[in-house]
Amino acid sequence: MEVRLAECAGFCFGVRRAVETVYEQVQTGKTIYTYGPIVHNEEVVRDLEEKGVRVIEGREELLRLAEEAAGRGEETPTVIIRAHGVPKDIYDILDKNNLEYVDATCPFVKKIHRIVERESEKGRHVVIAGDPTHPEVEGIRGWCSGPVSIVETPAEAENLVFSPGETVCVVSQTTFNYNKFQDMVEIFQKKGYNDGVVNTICNATEERQRSAKAIAAEADVMIVIGGRHSSNSRKLYDICSRECANTYFIQTLDDLRLELPKAVRLVGITAGASTPNKLIEEVQNYVRINF
């Protein structure tokens, strides 16, 4: 039986950079906070928690932290901004309260912030193709100073009404589905908005999805490793299940309860952007040794 790992699996560039930033900051001995969990992976977050890293859950908590830090005087904590990025007003809170921070926003997300900020200032209506509840989308929205709409489906794009004479700037969440984005772009073009579309889908997502699909198409059993709250991992699961009926979604090695029939020739493994290499290796070795 062969065990094959997808070519692009696990941490993407932006997430790796953010997680490494936190581990580096831990070495400074300062009190470290991350604005939101650094990665959608409970194992990593737990490991960091054991090293004293705390998670700020939102604006209110950040304001409370700023107040406490001001009251204490000398010792100011360091806040790390994760790869998803944050709205502009979070930087304002950090700056106004003299809180130290390290910005680990992925450069690809930062680029979207700069685009929407600039186009908003020019008066364009910003349209974000993405999940309105996702922190990355909330962050992008927070850099717009004018009208902004978030559309998740082509039907929503169809129903979007612009004011007469309005110009439009369309961007996408970095993990958005490419085909869905293309469908939406066509809808905007039919409405007469031919320019102002910037495809900001990240290659890392597409490559990971493509290599997962290729293995799943050949595999008898497919294992997708990812965090419960990781949307890109769930997307990988959907893609693989369409290709391979025996697709399993696991968070940790403990979730893996495989009873493989003798006829299995190929077990494929892939992992979401928030899955550390160590875990991928553990799963790979487990399957190799036990079956």
- State the Cα–Cα distance between residues 47 and 66, nearest whole angstrom: 25
Contacting residue, 66, 99, 109, 169, with ligand SF4 by CB under 6 A: 109
- State the Cα–Cα distance between residues 74 and 143, nearest whole angstrom: 32
Region from 143-151, 179-187, 189-197, 200-208 binding ligand SF4, contact rule CB under 6 A: 200-208
Least distance (Å) from ligand SF4 to the CB of residue 153? 21
Sheet strands (E) in 30-174: 32-35, 54-56, 78-81, 100-103, 125-129, 148-151, 168-172
Nearer to ligand SF4, 99 or 106 (CB): 106
CA angle 130, 131, 135 (to 5 degrees): 105
Residue, CB closest to ligand SF4:
14
Nearer to ligand SF4, 180 or 191 (CB): 180
Q: Would you count residue 273 as binding ligand SF4 (CB under 6 A)?
A: yes
Nearer to ligand SF4, 149 or 175 (CB): 175
Residue from 257, 276, 233, 281 nearest 22 by CA: 276
Amino acid at site 270: T
Residue from 261, 256, 258, 248 nearest 282 by CA: 256
Least distance (Å) from ligand SF4 to the CB of residue 21? 13
Nearer to ligand SF4, 30 or 210 (CB): 210
CA 54 to chain centre: 20
Q: Would you count residue 38 as binding ligand SF4 (CB under 6 A)?
A: no
**Catalytic sites, residue numbers:** 136
Q: Would you count residue 106 as binding ligand SF4 (CB under 6 A)?
A: yes
Q: Would you count residue 202 as binding ligand SF4 (CB under 6 A)?
A: yes
Least distance (Å) from ligand SF4 to the CB of residue 291? 32
Q: Would you count residue 269 as binding ligand SF4 (CB under 6 A)?
A: no
Residue 195 and residue 127 in contact, taking contact as beta carbons nearer than 8 Å = no
Contacting residue, 3, 48, 83, 280, with ligand SF4 by CB under 6 A: 83
Residue 110 and residue 133 in contact, taking contact as beta carbons nearer than 8 Å = no
Residues 6+ apart with CB under 8 A from 44: 19, 38, 274, 276
Q: Would you count residue 230 as binding ligand SF4 (CB under 6 A)?
A: no
Q: Is the dihedral of CA 117, 118, 123, 128 positive or negative?
A: negative
- State the Cα–Cα distance between residues 41 and 55, nearest whole angstrom: 13
Region from 34-42, 151-159, 202-210, 261-269 binding ligand SF4, contact rule CB under 6 A: 202-210
Residues in region 124-143 near ligand SF4 by CB under 6 A: none
Contacting residue, 5, 8, 9, 12, with ligand SF4 by CB under 6 A: 12
Residues in region 139-168 near ligand SF4 by CB under 6 A: none
Q: Would you count residue 174 as binding ligand SF4 (CB under 6 A)?
A: yes
- State the Cα–Cα distance between residues 277 and 104, nearest whole angstrom: 20
Nearer to ligand SF4, 11 or 193 (CB): 11
Q: Which residues bind ligand SF4 (CB under 6 A)?
A: 12-15, 83, 106, 108-109, 174-175, 202, 204-205, 273
